[in-house]
């Protein structure tokens, strides 16, 4: 049975409503309209995308514009292209890596080791910090966790969400969040994968909450690692802060996120 085709009338309407701004290049307008259809759920994983020629005829734009837009959509993880079978809306949930940026490479085997995760608290947070400017909000939902590798001292992690994305965690049983991927939950609930990250790392004083949970004297110096996550159309998704105690194992940082 062949895959269901996306609703072209929905795409035509989305392109024609001008929401992306008349000053944007045509391929970018098409990318933004297509992205909105996927994020809103009007296009479903596994649905087939018409051929480049068909898209160009119905929108209408040039085939070159369609090709450029599809290339960007592939790079953003929204569609997948198969030479023999065609182009399809990506099933991001099945493709996603568990986005644990806190990872350690075993020096003996060379394999990456994933962390253990224990959730400590979930709270509404209106404190001042880089998370506010990163997410362009005054109030966040913050999830505090301990993360560690087998038989190694833990690090302290705080993940900051926009309230509309983090509100769901306020009602979750903390025990149910242990070991979970918060990124995967964002995909399941909001169709929002992490596609890019920015890192800032420095040696600083660990905050009082981190010191308490890490059982360190207040004022201990350690490594503070801030991470900004971006999603489709480079929209800020969340802010992460890891606080690593002195003598912590080296952490492996890669540039592959979200969708493969």
Measure the N-to-C terminal CA separation of the chain; round to a whole number of Å: 26
How large is the average pLDDT for residues 233-238? 88
Task: Identify which of 153, 144, 136 has the alpha carbon closest to the alpha carbon of residue 246.
Answer: 153
Q: State if pTM tops 0.85.
A: no
**Residue 83: band (very low, low, confident or very high) from pLDDT cuts 50, 70, 90:** confident
Calpha distance 109→218 (Å, rounded): 36
Instruction: Reduce the secondary structure of 54-85 to three states and give it as a string.
Output: HHHHHCCCCHHHHHHHHHHHHHCCCEEEECCC
Give the DSSP letter of residue 78. S
Calpha distance 55→50 (Å, rounded): 6
Q: For the segment 13-23, what is each residue's pLDDT rounded down to a tens digit? A: 888 765 545 57
Cβ neighbors of 194 (< 8 A, separation 6 or more) are 99, 183, 186, 229, 230, 231, 237, 238, 257, 258
- 90 by Cβ neighbours in 10 Å (0-12 / 13-18 / 19+) ranks as buried
Mean pLDDT of the chain, nearest integer: 85
Where does the chain hold its CATH 3.40.1410.10 domain(s)?
Answer: 95-244
Q: pLDDT: is 202 or 187 the higher one?
A: 202
Q: Kindly report the CATH number that applies to the domain delimited by 95-244.
A: 3.40.1410.10
Q: For the segment 128-181, what is each residue's pLDDT rounded down to a tens digit? A: 999 999 999 999 999 999 999 877 889 999 999 999 999 989 988 888 888 777
Q: For the segment 85-111, what is each residue's pLDDT rounded down to a tens digit? A: 889 887 755 444 445 678 787 778 877
How large is the average pLDDT for residues 184-193? 80
Where does the chain hold its CATH 1.10.10.10 domain(s)?
Answer: 8-90
Cβ neighbors of 220 (< 8 A, separation 6 or more) are 205, 206, 211, 214, 245, 246
In 55-71, which positions are buried (b, 16+ CB within 10 angstroms) versus exposed (e)?
A: bbeebebeeebbebbbe
Residue 96: its pLDDT value, please?
A: 45
Decide: 201 and 225 in contact? Cβ < 8 Å: yes
Domain 8-90 top-level CATH class: mainly alpha
How large is the average pLDDT for residues 207-224? 96
Residue 12: its pLDDT value, please?
A: 87
Residue 214: phi and psi, rounded to 5, are: -90, 0
**Residue 259: band (very low, low, confident or very high) from pLDDT cuts 50, 70, 90:** very low
Calpha distance 239→228 (Å, rounded): 5
Q: 3-state DSSP call for residue 228?
A: strand
């Amino acid at each position: 049975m062949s895959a269901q085709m996306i609703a072209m009338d929905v795409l035509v309407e989305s392109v024609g409503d001008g929401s992306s701004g008349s000053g944007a290049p045509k391929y970018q307008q098409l990318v933004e309209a297509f992205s909105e259809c996927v994020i809103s759920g009007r296009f479903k994983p596994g649905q087939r995308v018409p051929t480049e020629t068909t898209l160009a005829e119905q929108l209408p734009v040039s085939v070159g514009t369609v090709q450029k837009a599809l290339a960007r959509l592939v790079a953003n993880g929204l569609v997948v292209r198969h030479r023999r079978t065609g182009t399809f809306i990506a099933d991001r949930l099945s493709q996603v890596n568990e986005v644990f940026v806190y990872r350690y490479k075993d020096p003996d085997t060379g394999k990456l080791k994933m962390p253990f995760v224990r959730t400590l608290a979930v709270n509404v947070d209106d404190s001042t910090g880089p998370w506010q400017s990163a997410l362009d909000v005054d109030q966040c939902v913050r999830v505090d966790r301990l993360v560690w590798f087998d038989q190694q001292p833990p690090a302290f992690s705080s993940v900051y969400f926009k309230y509309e994305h983090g509100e769901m965690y306020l009602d979750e049983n903390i025990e149910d969040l242990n070991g979970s991927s918060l990124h995967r939950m964002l995909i399941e609930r909001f169709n929002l994968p992490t596609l890019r990250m920015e890192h800032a790392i420095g040696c600083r004083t660990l905050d009082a909450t981190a010191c308490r949970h890490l059982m360190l004297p207040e004022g201990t110096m350690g490594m503070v690692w801030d991470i900004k996550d971006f999603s489709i159309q480079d929209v800020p998704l969340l802010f992460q802060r890891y606080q690593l105690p002195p003598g912590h194992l080296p952490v492996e940082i890669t540039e592959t996120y979200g969708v493969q």
